[in-house]
Amino acid sequence: MTTFVLVHGAWHGPWAWDLVVPLLRGAGARTLVPDLSAVGDRGLHDHASIVIDALASVPPDDELVLVGHSYAGLVVREAADARPTSVDHLVLLDGWAGPDGASMFSLAPEAFVTAIRSAAEKTGDGHIPAPPPAAFGITDSTTANWLAARLLPQALRTFTEPTTLTGAVAQIPGTALYCEPLTYPFDRLGAAAGYPTHALSAPHDAMLTHPEVVARMLLQCSRAAQSAS
């Protein structure tokens, strides 16, 4: 059996995968959705530890597909690097990725970094207020209202803390799914990490707007699904 460990991005919570989870389970897979959204002075390493704990709970005979959306691309790569024998396939969904020592701020454009630092300074509590749903490509009013009610502040340290990689993650097969039109160079970042890249015609929060497409692409990344086809 395949277990998908689905890791949400910044400002989001496990609910980000609510529309995808039933589709994966309907295809016969297990799902785990770690929660990185706890309020507090958490950093990227704290989030990677949460994912590592989730990996440990997957039955050893399962095929494990580890999925990271956006910021969580950095998180899942650090977690997989720490437990390379646990992960069979890595998937980045519009995910940030970089070498050892990379952080969100080292990978993102200068304008993004400046805007985020400015927003965090205004709060004065080390957190970045959530941007509006439109920043994630959500323009439908119903979905935008639903999302706006759930978005949470993000600890600034998650964007400044550099990833720690030994190089073990490079031995794990992976796939980079990037959304078009591009918001940031997720296609280039995925390719630089050594992954085949595939485009999705969907906004950044594709799991909310196009859950069937996302689920289908994730299932195609599964060895079990490939063997059955």
| Cβ partners under 8 Å of residue 201, min gap 6 | 179, 180
CA neighbor of 67 nearest in space, from 227, 206, 209, 226:
206
The count of residues in the chain is 229
pLDDT above 70: residue 225: no
pLDDT digits (tens, 9 = 90+) for 64-123: 999 999 999 999 999 999 999 999 999 999 999 999 999 999 999 999 999 999 999 998
Summarised one tens digit per residue, pLDDT across range 66-82 is 999 999 999 999 999 99
pTM summary value? 0.96
pLDDT value of residue 228? 46
Domain 2-110+156-228, what fold? Rossmann fold (3.40.50)
Contact residues for 56 (Cβ-Cβ < 8 A; gap 6+): 83, 86
Q: How far apart are CA 48 and CA 37, in angstroms?
A: 13
